Structure 1
Amino acid sequence: MAKRPPENWRAWMAEIARAVATGELEPECASAAEMYPESLLQATDAALETFEGDVRALREPSDEEVFATIERVVVALNTVDGDDSHGGACYCTEEREQLCEYIDLTLSEHGVDVAALAARRGINRAEITDDWRDW
């Protein structure tokens, strides 16, 4: 099963904390770990959990049903990304790429041929989130 991006982000923050604790990294160099406040991680997890449930519920879906599922998760992630309660934290390039890859992998793991889906719409598989994505 595809690993949710917040798991990667939590692991990275734990590695930073370990490096500071062992003296490998100066505390003032660890401020990048603030990129992932717990509120952002939890809200992202919640959006992805809902997406996973939506994908599991798909049974021989039409392209429209799959794209509606993609739209829902992207709009939910837009809300997370734009939420001021995260102290200004938002998705940057690496996070965006991980989220898009996660969406693709999750669909693929549940039998959706993402390349064919995208081709039928005249786009590249990397563009399946583009119509709705603000992040």
Structure 2
Amino acid sequence: MANRPPENWRAWMAEVARDVEAGISGPECAGAVEMYPESLLRATDSALETFEAEMRGLVEPSDEEVFGAVERVVLALNAVDDANHGGVGYCTEEREQLCEYIDLTLGEHGVDVVALAVRKDIDRAEITDAWRDW
């Protein structure tokens, strides 16, 4: 199973904290923990957990069912990004990780993402674009 992006973000913050403590990185890097407030991490995890559960419940899903699940997770992530997390939201790196996670999760649940995109006449990277604000 693919790592949820918040797992990667938590690991990165822990690594930066260790590097600062060890003197490998300067004290100016200590503020890195503010990039991912716990409220953002928890809300993102919750949205992705719901998406995973929905995908587990689909058996031989139609394209409409798959796109419905994608729409719901993207709208949930839009809400997370719009919420107040101390002025922090998803930036380019986070967006890329979230899109990749959605793609990988679809694949892990038997969806041929390339074929799905072809049937919808879109590029694979555009699976989330119809709903994504982040």
Instruction: Give the TM bin, normalised by the shorter chain.
Output: over 0.9
Within the alignment, does 1:17 sit opposite 2:17 as a pair? yes
Structure 1: which 5+ residue stretches go unaligned? none
Within the alignment, does 1:80 sit opposite 2:92 as a pair? no
Q: Provide the TM-score with structure 2 as the length reference.
A: 0.97
Give me the whole-angstrom Cα distance separating, in 2, the residues matched to 1:129 and 1:29.
33
Give me the whole-angstrom Cα distance separating, in 2, the residues matched to 1:46 and 1:67.
19
After the TM superposition, list the runs of 4 or more consecutive aligned residues in structure 1 that deviate by more than 3 angstroms.
Answer: none
1:31 Cα deviation from its structure 2 partner:
2.1
Give me the whole-angstrom Cα distance separating, in 2, the residues matched to 1:30 and 1:114.
39
1:27-74 Cα deviation digits (max 9, x unpaired): 223323311000000000000000000000111111000000000000
Q: Provide the TM-score with structure 1 as the length reference.
A: 0.97
Question: What amino acid does structure 2 have at the position aligned with 1:124?
Answer: D
Q: How does 1:32-51 map to 2 (within 5 A)?
A: 32-51=32-51
1:68-91 Cα deviation digits (max 9, x unpaired): 00000000000000101x101100
Structure 2: which 5+ residue stretches go unaligned? none
Q: How many residues align structurally?
A: 134
> Which residue is equivalent to 2:67?
67
> Which residue is equivalent to 1:112?
111
Give me the whole-angstrom Cα distance separating, in 2, the residues matched to 1:14 and 1:7.
11
> Which residue is equivalent to 1:101?
100
Within the alignment, does 1:126 sit opposite 2:93 as a pair? no
Give me the whole-angstrom Cα distance separating, in 1, the residues matched to 2:34 and 2:78.
20
> Which residue is equivalent to 2:4?
4
Give me the whole-angstrom Cα distance separating, in 2, the residues matched to 1:11 and 1:29.
15
What's the Cα RMSD here? 0.7
